[in-house]
Structure 1
């Protein structure tokens, strides 16, 4: 099977739209025959939420674009294209007492692979490929204590 585009949305960069992104992505994949879309739903939510919180897309009048691809019958790719930011998205460690900062870590733990790249007009694209068979990659912890926090 060759990669196939399932849906592309251009939406306001507003937090109220993130739950709709989650639903549209899951619906598009289920209609295409994918069985387990929970991981994809989580990843789409985190990527769209990050675009709203950390990029120019989250400013009044901002936009973001979400694309869903079927890579194989068991693998989907989500792309979120935002209007750019001063920083590059990266996974980081959050302290045990911090309320946020775990979004890309969750993406990293759920996705088979993920990354970023610049696109025209100084926008950024963040992508992730996620299994739709309910198989998650094995998390890698530097030490046993980290697994417990």
Structure 2
């Protein structure tokens, strides 16, 4: 069971927010996630290329994690991506999965240096932590017994004074 709508959300844009985008839970859509983040941020032409690249990379990493580790990657699964500008000097990315009965996303801490060197996965949240000014996770519904309904992985990016002034 998930709480994400099966019908598309309206494409209206409110101040400081872009329309939410819903993607099928298939890794083949990761490039579409990146391309649509890039297109959404194009309406803010003063953003640095590095910032746009960082937001794109974090979006695709959070999307890939949702597909790989939650019900979003199962048949009929979906991932929602939201992009907002909560304050003039911040961008916020949020990626919502279809939930899992297990645990919230976390950075693997129990690997040795040799295991990290050989690991083919497990670096997505490390990349988000390194690129974002702040990041975290929270349940979609913060109510006892509802944690399995989905998790929001969010990341905030600080805009430079020059980007904020424009």
CA distance in structure 2 between the aligned counterparts of 1:123 and 1:62, rounded to whole angstroms:
11
26, 33, 48: which one aligns with 1:35: 48
Tell whether the 8 Å contact from 1:79 to 1:126 is kept in structure 2 after alignment.
yes
> What's the offset of the Cα at 1:76?
1.4
Matched, 1:47 2:62: yes
Would you say how many aligned residue pairs link Structure 1 and Structure 2? 131
User: Does residue 111 of the first structure (1) align with residue 132 of the second (2)?
Assistant: yes
Q: Return structure 1 stretches of 4+ with deviation > 6 angstroms.
A: none
Distance 2:126 2:107 in 1: 5
Any unmatched runs of 5+ in structure 2?
A: 1-14, 161-166
Matched, 1:98 2:114: no
Alignment of 1:14 onto 2:41: no
Q: CA–CA distance in 1 between the matches of 2:120 and 2:63? A: 18
Using the size of structure 2 for normalisation, the TM-score is 0.72
CA 1:17/1:42 → structure 2, altered by over 3 Å: closer, same or farther? Answer: same
Q: Root-mean-square deviation (CA), in Å?
A: 1.8
Q: 1:49 to 1:132 in 2, by over 3 A?
A: farther
TM-score (norm 1): 0.80
Distance 1:8 1:35 in 2: 23
Larger Rg: 2
